[in-house]
Amino acid sequence: MVTINNDHQGLFIVGGVVKSRLTEKDRQVVQDYLSSLLQVRNLVILVGSGASFHLGSPQTRALKTESVKELISQAGESIEDSDADLLGALNPSDNGDLEKLLNGLQLAVALAAQTGHATITLGEGTSARAFNVEDIESLRKKIGSALAYACELPGDPSKIEVEYKDDPLRAHRTLISRIVRSRRANLPRPRLFTTNYDLVIERALDELGYPYIDGFSGTVDRRLNLAYYGLDFHRVDTTSQQVLARADSALYLHKIHGSLNWRAAPEREATTGVESLEVRQVSQNGTTDAERVLIYPTTAKEGDTLAYPYSDLMRLLGEAVQQDDTAIVSVGYGFADPHINRILLRSLALNPALNVLVADPFAVLEPSNMNEAMEADELVGQTLTEAGLNPKDTAIAALAQGADSRIAVLTGEAGKFTRFADLMPDPSVDSGVTPPSAIVGLIESLEAAILRPSAPSNTANAPGGDSGV
């Protein structure tokens, strides 16, 4: 029986075939793969909401009405009788989905606007009730504000996983620092794309002291200026201003669904009088009447991405994954956004030089199947179906079964953001890159050959003696 590290147990699948069960014996297979992946010319990191679950990120599914009310109250909003009645009408099974709830409210407002009615009737028969459009719109805004408030992470310490209470950003710092330090100095900067609104990545970068370009210009008045993604950081001689070298440890950050500290408002240019839409960064807790720049989780989110600034940010993602010698490392992203999936899948079809690694803990196998897989010594070298396992009906499970050697999936406990960060190769101090195990073995063999005496000798010629070796 093999020894299994419960923190990192999982399956590593490449081209539909299980390459490793991440036991203590063969987890090096994953780290070797990651080491090589980090050395591609163009590295794209895609981070989704799963990267914030250990910090108390809000769940949006299987929500009871009381849970929605609690979210609204925690954001400092009051719950009116009309709010409670609306929630009951839109979530009669008391097992709601925040996306569907926002959809219902949005559609009700749109229907009222289309018909010119001041009220909308929900329900049927004796339970039918008319609701004022103002009340419907008010609840929609409250839920939007509550969702934004819940994404102010790290938040309530009681909702943070125990091992991260004292240092909430440790996993983010670990992942980012290992990625940045592992890459050779002559490679382009990593590009980190995230669907998350929270400022956790920015805070982690600040704690690390890493410079980053997020598409904003200015210092006091920071405005979105996507031309800034064409800039870079370099070290210069302070006297002559001559460029000495490219600065270390920098990256590009793209928040493709917006951010909690983004606000948008039309502005008129003082000299020309031309009106435009400006997106600004504000203090996270700052008060302003300007509209938040966020794509809320509704069915309308794909259409929202066609508007500024999301369309431009999505274009940058599309361009990034079309380059030669490119790898996408996806962690915490559940492939629930068709507009992102379309870019990734089309890139796989059109770009033969693209590799994709997806880390997700629960999207491939049920827990019982995962436990069975971890006990199966013969699993390595087989597909999931050949081993008698039943993959889930999810996008990531489909990727895990695809016979394409460019696609790798890491699932099980090791697919959690926190565990994946620990699995990332930790670069050595000297080289800056963790060499694959094959190279390590070669070095050890060469060292042994150099130190091995050519003939029997006394202890004076042993390693560590006074032979002068």
C-alpha to C-alpha distance for 202 and 152, rounded to whole angstroms: 12
pTM of the model: 0.83
How many domains does one find in the chain? 2
Give how far the C-alpha of residue 373 lies from the chain's centroid of Cα atoms, to the nearest Å. Answer: 27
- Residues 6 or more apart whose Cβ sits within 8 Å of residue 122: 86, 89, 90, 108, 128, 129, 131
**More confident site: 64 or 394:** 394
Is 61 a residue whose pLDDT tops 90?
no
- In terms of domains, do 145 and 241 share one? no
Both 238 and 316 in one domain: the answer is yes
238 lies in the same domain as 89: no
275 lies in some domain: no
Residue 176 has pLDDT above 60, yes or no: yes
The amino acid at 279 = V
When pLDDT is averaged across residues 47-71 and rounded to a whole number, the result is 86
Q: Which of 14-28, 272-286, 302-316, 328-342 has the highest mean pLDDT?
A: 328-342
Cα torsion through 32, 36, 37, 43, rounded to 10:
140
Note whether residue 453 is domain-resident.
no
Last residue of a domain, one of 120, 150, 180: 150
- Within a domain: 273: no
Q: Which range, 62-71, 167-176, 237-246, is most confident?
A: 167-176
Which whole number is the average pLDDT over 424-431?
68
Segment 366-392 shows an average pLDDT of 93
Least confident of 63-67, 127-131, 150-154, 281-285: 281-285
Shared domain for 172 and 305, answered yes or no, is yes
Q: In CATH, what number is assigned to the domain containing residue 188?
A: 3.40.50.1220
CB 356 within 8 A of CB 409: no
Whether residues 246 and 371 fall in one domain: yes
Does 139 fall in a domain? yes
- The per-residue pLDDT for range 247-302, each reduced to its tens digit, is 888 999 999 999 999 998 888 877 787 888 889 998 865 555 678 888 876 656 66
Same domain, 408 and 357: yes
247 shares its domain with 367? yes
Question: How many other C-beta atoms can be found within 10 angstroms of the C-beta atom of residue 170?
Answer: 17
Residues spanned by the domain of 406: 10-54+159-211+231-258+286-423
The pLDDT tens digits for 381-399 are 999 999 999 999 999 999 9
**Residue 359 pLDDT exceeds 90:** yes
> What's the confidence (pLDDT) of residue 125?
80
- The average pLDDT across 443-453 equals 59
User: Is residue 43 domain-shared with residue 25, that is, in the same domain?
Assistant: yes
The answer on 102 and 163 residing in a single domain is no
The answer to whether residues 111 and 131 touch, using CB atoms and an 8 Å cutoff, is no
| Same domain for 185 and 111 | no
Any domain includes 331? yes
Q: Is residue 446 assigned to a domain?
A: no
In a domain, 219, yes or no: no
Assigned domain for 202 exists: yes
Is residue 241 domain-shared with residue 110, that is, in the same domain? no
In terms of domains, do 108 and 79 share one? yes
